[in-house]
A and B are shown apart, each in its own frame.
Chain A
Amino acid sequence: MIHFLKKIIQSRKMSKQVIDQGAASSSQALLSRQLAHNVERLMQVFGASNDIVLREFSFGHEGKMQGAVLYVEGLANKLLINESLIKPLMYDIHIFEGRLEVTTLEAVKSCMISLGGVEEATTLESVVDACLSGDAVLIIQGFEKALVLNTKGWEDRGVEEPKTESVVRGPREGFTENLRINTSLLRRKIKNPNLTLEPLKIGKKTKTDVCMMYLKGVVNPRLVEEIRRRLNRIDTDAIMESGYIEQFIEDAPHSIFPTVANSEKPDVVAAKILEGRAAIIVDGTPFVLTVPMLFIENFQSAEDYYSRPYFASLIRMLRFGCYGITILAPAIYVALTTFHQELIPTPLLFTLASSREGVPFPAMLEALVMLVAFEILREAGIRLPRPVGSAISIVGALIIGESAVAAGLIGAPMVIVVALTAVSSFVVPAQTDSESILRYIFLFLAGVMGGFGVAVGMLGLFIHLAGLRSFGAPYLSPLAPLSVHDQKDVFIRAPLWAMLTRPRAIGWRDPEREHFRLEPSPPDKGGKSSK
């Protein structure tokens, strides 16, 4: 048996070596001096793809020099190539008339090309890579090097208001699918040379650009090291979205709770970077990851900090309450009506009993049916085309809400409980998936063991949360372990001038956020300024 396994492993190793060798030989292939040879090899690599544009031309004094430009149509900016690359080479009067002798590649680079980013490439693979990422490649007869010109320019969705995190007050811009635009949005928020970008390419086939961003001096260097280590060990074919990255680097892959946060809003990500977190931006998606993630981040919204503290604190507490309602309300209702009728005040008990009279199912089944119906409606509402969506809500509200009660299949209180649960679940959108699962777990526990089951489930949930860590930071921090300073941003949102320090679990390297005594106050009557 072991022998057999060994054999398999060996053969896999062998085949891997072969593949590696193949990859190595092609990447080692250097460009030759012969233009025709290079062009031929490149066209072999690209095969029949017709979006590859190859433009061969001659330039220089009496057209003595031969050159070729290679780019992918749609990825590279055609206008830019024509105006700043081909045109100067072909029409420049100085070389055309031989007044300027261009003999080296450096001369071409420094005198002839009016483009910002120019690099040299020596291998076939780097040329191919450059082409596929939108650059134009200039190969000239007689040189072993090619010039890679930054001409990236493809069609993009512009900066729009994000669909997921809408705010009443606050910036309306959101990240886009373009990595460069995303990094520039962050740079515009934090104009600091310490804002560091670390580029990476992940995905053997897709070679997706990934970029880690953090504020040097505030971020914990060990965090950066750890993220780098986890990103580098990703050895997969394709990265389609930041969710791919998330699933490869998260701390608790078997937990229903996410340990990597994401956001679509530059102001949110910038604020998190300023607290000492690191952001991971992936090309092709507007969702930017931030780590480490704390549980309370689910309850903090950007708007809390833009509006004044009192109302923000009230809403903050409301969110915690809604989270409790959305995971516990059906369970508690079932536990009360099935096991602990004596705990319900008598008049209420009569009302409940009379409305449940004639309902043929036990409360747990009733709740389960309603919750599943809600999930169905929600999922249908998301997937359907917009105009049909309203039809779903009418069907859902009328048939499930009204008719089921009228027909006596479902008790009216249950409809209220499930509706409350459903509405509450949208208050904490970041936790929707864990909410839905927990709801069913608690419902089951309540249906089987009543209040005891719910309490034991809560304890279990708490143990699980207290044991989680996200990139070294305890998930329940600053509640458990307790950090008194950070309580200013948990259940209440203290005024900004009172939040003096960064969160202890994350940004303790440079704890001071601002000078204290910034509380605004009107000047004294005596004319002495209070500041």
Chain B
Amino acid sequence: MLMKIEKGTISSSQLLFLAAAFVQGAALVVAFAYVVTKHDVWIIIISGLAVTLPFLWGCVSLAKSFPGQNMVQIMESVYGTFLGKGLSILFISFPFQVISHNLRFIGDFFVIYMYPKTPLVVFLILFIAVCAWAVRSGIETIARIGLVTVAITIFIDVLTFFLLLGEMEATNFLPMFELSVGDFIQGTHIMFAIPYGELMIFLMIVPYVNKIKQAKSALLWGLTIGAATLLILVVRDIAALGSLANVLVAPSFEAVRLIDIAHVITRMELLVAIVLLITVFIKISVLYYASALGIAQIFGLRTYRPLVIPIAIFSVSFSMVIYDAAAEQMYVGANIWPVYSLLFYMLPVMTMLIAKFRRLPRAQEGVRP
């Protein structure tokens, strides 16, 4: 049994807000799904949620049946040391890749919309530096920031929703359900694989919740709150932009640009950028923390802190070379990543089945870590 690296604990309500902020971090990633499902995106936001809830429920059940162990430790108990460590490396490579994608995404966003002349790498380095600071401070600190980001995000989303009421056209939603079954499945799959399913990484954090019994409902509620925020955003954007939303890289940014109340309250898009920044910050910090902790556990280190800077350097370099342009990311996000990521989503499902099959955890009572 590996020793406990993280000594801090978080409360279940902090877990809830962390999960909600994590999902809200995908506010702009929904753009991937616009390409496929056009103005019916709101349907797949709900259907994606419906698919993800049972998946997440299963994940947390797995964590609960191995109390005090995170995914890396669970896999080691289920598959044995060597296979377990191998699969753990596979599992930890997932948050690591997601960090790079998100980092690139936020960097591209700022370069395209606000700083056309600044090199991308400046944003990547500054952003990852803040995340690294948060990760070094530990899960308790990240969790404390979660609530504030959720509050700010919901406040700004609702505010812009009301300010945009004048620009909205209900007819933009018509014709409803203009979706082929294939598109619907693909869209749902995108929502599952990109914003929602990534919550799987909370398997690395759930053991540090002080009341493990409430962790399940906290995570599921967090997901639902996050999804509800996305729904508000999508409804706002489609209603305000119409079919224009389908072709833009960042529809919510463009939608909020339309706000013009008496020529005084205008150009609110800075708010969207701020919301994006803080929610993506939470998302990257959680993933970053999970990968640092996971790697430390795989290699039996006493602390994950020496890994923080190397991971930052790797993810900045990785995100620099991962795409040539933002449009490429849109394509990858819609068509390639959802299929590829199934490889990782398989892991908890497989682990759960094999744990059931081997009747694990067996005779674990009293040997809690």
A460 to B281 CA separation, bound complex (whole angstroms)? 11
Shortest Cβ distance from A463 into B: residue: B134
Complex interface: chain B residues within 8 A of A342 (CB): 267
A467 close to chain B: CB less than 8 A: yes
Most buried by A among B126, B138, B148: B126
Select B273's contact among A449, A451, A453, A463, beta carbons within 8 Å: A451
A345–B263 CB distance below 8 A: yes
B126–A452 CB distance below 8 A: yes
Complex interface: chain A residues within 8 A of B270 (CB): 340, 343, 451
A317 close to chain B: CB less than 8 A: no
A479–B267 CB distance below 8 A: no
A462 to B126 CA separation, bound complex (whole angstroms)? 15
A347–B263 CB distance below 8 A: yes
Select A340's contact among B114, B133, B137, beta carbons within 8 Å: B114
Q: Which of B25-33, B139-147, B245-253 contacts A (4 or more CB under 8 A)?
A: B139-147
Number of chain B residues whose Cβ lies closer than 8 Å to a Cβ of chain A: 34
B133–A466 CB distance below 8 A: no
- State which residues 297-351 of A face B: CB under 8 Å: 339-340, 342-347
B147–A459 CB distance below 8 A: no
B266 close to chain A: CB less than 8 A: yes
A463–B130 CB distance below 8 A: yes
A449 to B277 CA separation, bound complex (whole angstroms)? 14
Assess A466 versus B14: contact at CB under 8 Å? Given A345-B266, A452-B126: no
- State which residues 93-115 of A face B: CB under 8 Å: none
A219 close to chain B: CB less than 8 A: no
A474 close to chain B: CB less than 8 A: yes
Select B122's contact among A344, A347, A449, A480, beta carbons within 8 Å: A449
B123 close to chain A: CB less than 8 A: yes
B267–A467 CB distance below 8 A: no
Categorize the interface residue count of chain A. Answer: 20 to 34
A398 to B118 CA separation, bound complex (whole angstroms)? 40
A462–B114 CB distance below 8 A: no
Query: What's the least CB distance linking A457 to chain B, in Å?
Result: 9
Assess A459 versus B114: contact at CB under 8 Å? Given A452-B123, A479-B148: no
A479 to B149 CA separation, bound complex (whole angstroms)? 12
A463–B277 CB distance below 8 A: no
Complex interface: chain B residues within 8 A of A449 (CB): 118, 122, 126
A347 to B263 CA separation, bound complex (whole angstroms)? 9
Query: What's the least CB distance linking A487 to chain B, in Å?
Result: 12
Assess A466 versus B114: contact at CB under 8 Å? Given A452-B277, A453-B126, A482-B13: no
B177 close to chain A: CB less than 8 A: no
B274 close to chain A: CB less than 8 A: yes
A455 close to chain B: CB less than 8 A: yes
Fill in one digit per residue for B85-99: 1 if any A CB lies within 8 Å of its CB, else 0. Answer: 000000000000000
B141–A466 CB distance below 8 A: yes
B115–A480 CB distance below 8 A: no
A46 to B114 CA separation, bound complex (whole angstroms)? 75
Assess A474 versus B144: contact at CB under 8 Å? Given A340-B270, A452-B114, A459-B281: yes
Complex interface: chain A residues within 8 A of B144 (CB): 466, 474, 476, 480-481
Query: What's the least CB distance linking A331 to chain B, in Å?
Result: 14
Select B145's contact among A340, A344, A462, beta carbons within 8 Å: A462
Complex interface: chain B residues within 8 A of A451 (CB): 114, 270, 273-274
Complex interface: chain B residues within 8 A of A340 (CB): 114, 270
A433 to B110 CA separation, bound complex (whole angstroms)? 33
Shortest Cβ distance from B266 into A: residue: A345
Extra contacts besides A347-B263, A455-B274, A459-B278 (6): CB < 8 Å: A346-B263, A455-B277, A456-B126, A456-B127, A467-B137, A482-B147
- Residue positions of A touching B, CB distance < 8 A: 339-340, 342-347, 449-453, 455-456, 459-460, 462-464, 466-467, 474, 476, 479-482
Instruction: Report 7 cross-chain contacts, Cβ distance below 8 Å, ordered by A residue.
Output: A345-B264, A345-B267, A459-B134, A459-B277, A464-B133, A466-B137, A481-B11
Q: Kindly list the 4 A-B residue pairs having the minimum CB-CB distance in the complex, ordered from nearest.
A: A480-B144, A467-B137, A466-B144, A467-B141
